Amino acid sequence: MEINEKSIDNRQAYDELIRALEIVSKGLPAPYLPPVNDPKLNSISRLVTEVSEKNQTAFENLRSVNRSLRTEKERLEDKVEILEGELEQAVDSAKVGERMKEEFIANINHKLRTPLTSIIGFTSLLLQDKEGMMDTRKIAEYLGIVLQEGERLMGMVETMINLARINSGESPPAFKLFGLNKRITTESPKWSNDLPKDVALYLDLDESVGSIVADPGMILTAIGMLISNASACSPAGSVITVTTCNMGDNVVIEVIDQGEGLPGEALDSIFQNFTQHNKPDGSGGLGVGLSLVRSIAWLHKGEVSVTSEEGVGSRFKVTIPYNPDAAYDALTTSSNMERSLALVADDDMNSRLLLKGMLKEKFDIVEAADGHEAVRMCAKHKPAILLADMAMPEKDGIATILEIRSNPEICDTPILVLSAKTSPKVVEAAYSAGANSYLSKPFTKEELLRDIYAILGVKQT
């Protein structure tokens, strides 16, 4: 359709139409074109208007898409900023973790070398006295130091091993029913002996606390760890208090000290691995004890918390669920126990000598140097209990137990396994073969007698 100035009477309408055509040709919406008297011009105006409306719709869609893209861009920029912050924080945390591990390794090197130095040093002094000229009291003093430092070293190693096993899932709790207050009372003399001489231990046990279903070894380890932690910062003449409290479905165990207290910034990280709060003199623990306590509480579906005031002291609280209506079977006392015969089976002569020394006050002893001899001596003497090592030549502990359990004449013999092997699989194998109990080396005389009496159904007095 041709358009020229001569066919159009309305020059202004023509100019507006030309401007509108230029606008819509660029894909933009044009302004409204009012009708005029020229039909041809009106026809073209309608076409321009239709194109303009389509352009308007497309323009609005494009503007909406632009708004969406701008919003998404801002969201992604914010997310990137957050992720960059988290990455930076993770890198910083990794650096802190690596630094803490390095400090932990350096600290543990020092902590282990200190007792080892004393053990080796005092043992060397004793061995140098070949002519027996050293005073008896001096010998006793040196041996006491060796024993003390050995127990200290054993405690540190066991803490690290227990933490590693618990955190890796290798040592799940062995749940059983036991009287919490009774166990705490029984264990308290050992805890007291481990305290500095001028720091006292006091028990404030709620009589309404019943028996709990838990792993007694783990629970006592946690309490002992908290007491040890408290003793490290307790001044002379102070008291460490252990309390229990019946809280309905839960039992609360608290260890309260009168030490210097903890600064507020230390409370947030006190239960993390490798975290230490050193004393002003620079001393401190390994940095894993409180982490072990937390892991034990979590395994029992409980929790651990701390409140502290500088200059006043700290209060560590362990809360775990329990069954308050459970019954606890009391045992008869060991004072009524007649002197019995114990069979000690171990291929190591020094180990047999040590066991004889530990048991001589309560038992008569017969010995076996291997599994075959252990079975033969068991059949001959019918001992009240067999103490068997796991790693004996020819016939190991498992095979020895299996043969005894298959012999009708001696199948009821109580068996306590004593072994340096602490793998859960080995322990489970011993129980599956028929062992009554399993005690890991090294152990104290008190621990040995405690397990023997538990097997024989008596309680130490």
- 332-459 topology per CATH: Rossmann fold (3.40.50)
- 176-321 topology per CATH: Heat Shock Protein 90 (3.30.565)
C-alpha 134/C-alpha 141 separation (Å) is 11
- 284 near 227, Cβ under 8 Å? no
- Helix (H) or strand (E) segment spanning residue 176: strand 176-179
Distances (CA, A) of 282 to 1, 121, 153, 276, 360: 100, 24, 20, 11, 44
Tens digit of pLDDT for each residue in 219-271?
Answer: 988 898 899 888 888 888 899 999 999 988 889 999 999 888 877 666 666 76
- 385-389 and 239-247 as β-strands: parallel, antiparallel, unpaired? unpaired
Q: How many CB atoms lie within 10 A of CB 60?
A: 11
Peptide bond into 442 cis (omega under 30): yes
Tens digit of pLDDT for each residue in 292-347?
Answer: 788 888 888 888 888 888 888 889 999 998 653 333 333 333 444 457 899 999 98
Regarding pTM above 0.85, the answer is no
What is the pLDDT, as a whole number, of residue 112? 72
Architecture of the 1-171 domain? Orthogonal Bundle (1.10)
Q: Residue range 424-443: average pLDDT?
A: 85
What is the pLDDT, as a whole number, of residue 334? 40
Tens digit of pLDDT for each residue in 337-380?
Answer: 457 899 999 988 888 899 999 898 889 999 998 999 999 999 99
Biggest CA–CA distance in the chain, Å, is 143
Percent of the chain with pLDDT over 90: 15
- 331 near 459, Cβ under 8 Å? yes
Domain coordinates in residue numbering, the chain: 1-171, 176-321, 332-459
